[in-house]
Amino acid sequence: MRIADAQWIPSTPHQTWDALMDPEVLQKCLPGCVRVEKRTATEYALSLHARVAGQESHYECDVLLSELNPPHGCAVAFDAKSTAASLAIGTAQITLSPKDDGTRLAYTVAAMAGGSLAQVGEPILMNAGGKLVNKFFGAFIEHMAKVPRAAPPPEPEEPERGLAASRWSWLAVAAVVLVILGYHAFYK
């Protein structure tokens, strides 16, 4: 199953990024979400209830972020296991860019199902996945519309390079010059 689309978010890219990394915002916006735990800067654990094709299950999910490029995007890998012997695994690529005084959030999700979840068929899973994505973005956009706009943080300064970067470099140059002058003054 593959889903690719984009959404316009009414906030700046850095605010959108921060919200996507916030466990409280994710728990509020993900349909059926019971818990979101941020284990590390790149690992999350989720618990959620979902109903697909008449089957209601509790899922425990692990999410791993990689290729982090705040606030421009990241890659996501996930797996979800249910109490009813269902399994969903997949990846997503998320890209944020400024657009029309907001943020364009583009995403591509590739997922596979196993166990009893796979038996319902891809068309039903695509429909259920689409509904889940639409509900998430509806809640997320509503949340972000209420967040006051904030200026982006200043870009980190590029470190200086070369001799100008350190007074110790100039001291080393001065020492070399003194050694050369001393050599010529005393030994020549």
What pLDDT, in 10s, does the model give residues 65-118?
999 999 999 999 999 998 776 888 999 999 999 999 999 999 999 999 888 888
Residue 21 reports pLDDT greater than 60: yes
Residue-wise over 62-76: b if at least 16 C-beta within 10 A, else e?
Answer: ebebeeeeebebbeb
DSSP category for residue 101: T
CATH number at residue 139: 3.30.530.20
109 assigned to some structural domain? yes
pLDDT at res. 120: 82
pTM comes to: 0.78
**Is 32 a member of any domain?**
yes
Q: Please give the tally of structural domains in the chain.
A: 1
Whether 46 is in a domain gets the answer: yes
Report DSSP state, residue 165: G
Rounded-to-integer distance, Cα 154 and Cα 74, Å: 21
Q: How many other C-beta atoms are found inside a 10 Å radius of the C-beta of residue 30?
A: 19
Does 169 fall in a domain?
no
Q: Which domain holds residue 64?
A: 2-146
Please check whether residue 185 lies inside any domain of the structure: no
